[in-house]
Amino acid sequence: MSTTISEADALYQRVAHVIPRVEWATMVDDVQAILRLKAEKNAVILAHNYMTPEIYHGVADIVGDSLALAREATKVDADVIVLAGVHFMAETAKLLNPSKTVLIPDLRSGCSLAESVTPEDVRALRAAHPGVPVVTYVNTSAAVKAESDICCTSGNAVKIIESLGVDEVIMIPDQFLAANIGAQTGVKMIVHPGACEVHERFTPDDIETIREGNPGVTVIAHPECPRPVVLASDFSGSTAQMQDFIEKERPRKVALITECSMSDNIAQNHPEIDFIRPCNMCPHMKRNTLAAIRHSLETLTNVVELDPATAAPARQAIERMLAVK
């Protein structure tokens, strides 16, 4: 299939505001190959908001935060799902749509939160706090989800905690998300000492420096940031909630206290907004490259498989989450 100049130019327009044409020239061959392979293999690409713009705007079919990707995975009709994100997201897609072939472009795409907690840790917490419900962040392995009562994401954590109607929960593994949600809901949090290696590095001093250098800036922090960072910000929410806030409020100048690609992806459609970029990069998310996605589609690797013994209880914890309205 050959591509005309106007088709190639239309593709470039998807990223023109954030990728220089000279850089795009090194990417366009992979982009076109991926678009062709998707059609040949009846595949769709679900991409997290932290993908780089050439993936997010260039080849993805569905983009979103962890919650949106989980919801969308249940609706996929295609034979193959490529999860451009990290391993726990691919596992979640497989749990929710088990008849599909779910691929992860690079098996090493982990997450410091998912790696911080084991099923044994959950069992020990349960034994130490009998009767207290276990709420597990989706950033965990299926084996950890299998030990939990219900999952949550940063986008629905308040709603999930409130739906339980209790004054104490075990909320794992992100100590900072738990502190932020505990403060918002008034529910006592029993925590595990996990943290996101991207968000734990931001400090209140960073926010102060941004405000000093950029008068009038709106600061939006992800709730995986430490509590003092969230308190120093104007708004806190999941990556999708950050985007919704910007669409609604149209701030003139914004600092997103999160992973680097987030600002790039929104900036493409909002050249009028000045993005201050004090970002930290997630090395796991960045293992998703055009070359890795192309290879994944060409060879139909790496297939995500689940242990049937943990799949059923893990699915139940995610489905309970999705059922909370």
Residues pairing with 276 in the sheet: 255
Phi, psi values for residue 190, rounded to 5° = -95, 125
154 makes contact, choosing from ligand 13P, ligand SF4, none, with CB < 5 to 8 Å by partner type, with ligand 13P
Mind giving me the DSSP string for 196-228? -TTGGG--HHHHHHHHHHSTT-EEEE-TTS-HH
Q: Decide which of ligand SF4, ligand 13P, none touches 197; Cβ closer than 5 to 8 Å per partner kind.
A: ligand SF4
What does 239 bind: ligand 13P, ligand SF4, none (CB cut-off 5 to 8 Å by kind)?
A: ligand 13P
By a kind-dependent CB cut-off of 5 to 8 A, residue 83 interacts, out of ligand SF4, ligand 13P, none, with: none
Measured from the CB atom, is 121 or 168 closer to ligand SF4? Answer: 121
For the record, the structure tokens of 157 come out as 């954590």
The least distance separating ligand SF4 from the CB of residue 278, rounded to whole angstroms, comes to 15
Nearest of 233, 171, 176 to residue 199 by alpha carbon = 176
Task: In angstroms, give the least distance from the CB of 25 to ligand 13P.
Answer: 31
Report the nearest approach of ligand 13P to the CB of residue 93 (Å): 14
Which spans of this chain sit near ligand SF4 (rule: CB under 6 A)? 86, 111-113, 139, 196-198, 224, 259, 282, 284-285
Q: Output 49 or 296, the one with its CB closest to ligand 13P.
A: 49
- Per partner kind, with CB cut-offs from 5 to 8 A, the member of ligand SF4, ligand 13P, none near residue 153 is ligand 13P
Whichever of 87 and 100 has its CB closer to ligand SF4, that residue is 87
Tell the residue number behind the tokens 């800036």, with chain if given: 217
Q: How far is the CB of 245 from ligand SF4 (least distance, A)?
A: 19
Helix extents (H) in the chain:
5-13, 21-24, 28-41, 53-56, 66-73, 87-96, 112-115, 119-128, 142-145, 157-164, 175-185, 204-213, 227-231, 239-249, 260-269, 290-299, 308-323
- C-beta closer to ligand 13P: residue 32 or 156: 156
| Rounded Cα–Cα distance for residues 198 and 256 (Å) | 13
Q: Which of ligand SF4, ligand 13P, none is residue 284 near (CB under 5 to 8 Å by kind)?
A: ligand SF4
Q: In the complex with ligand 13P, which residue's Cβ is closer, 10 or 281?
A: 281
Q: Please state, in angstroms and rounded to a whole number, the distance separating the CA atoms of residues 11 and 316.
A: 40
DSSP β-bridge partners for residue 257: 221
Nearer to ligand 13P, 32 or 153 (CB): 153
Under 8 Å CB-to-CB from 13, ≥6 apart: which residues?
A: none
CB of 21 to ligand 13P, least distance (A): 30
Give 176 or 275: the residue with its C-beta nearer to ligand SF4: 176
CB 256 → ligand SF4: shortest distance, Å?
A: 13
Burial code of 211-250, b = ≥16 C-beta within 10 A, e = fewer? beebeebbbbbbbbbbbebbebbbbbbbbbbbbebbeeee
Give the Cβ contact number of residue 115 at 10 Å.
17
Smallest distance, ligand SF4 to C-beta of residue 268, A: 20
- Per CB under 6 A, residues contacting ligand 13P are 49, 65-67, 86, 111, 139, 153-155, 196, 224, 238-239
Q: CA torsion sign, 158 to 86 to 299 to 39?
A: positive
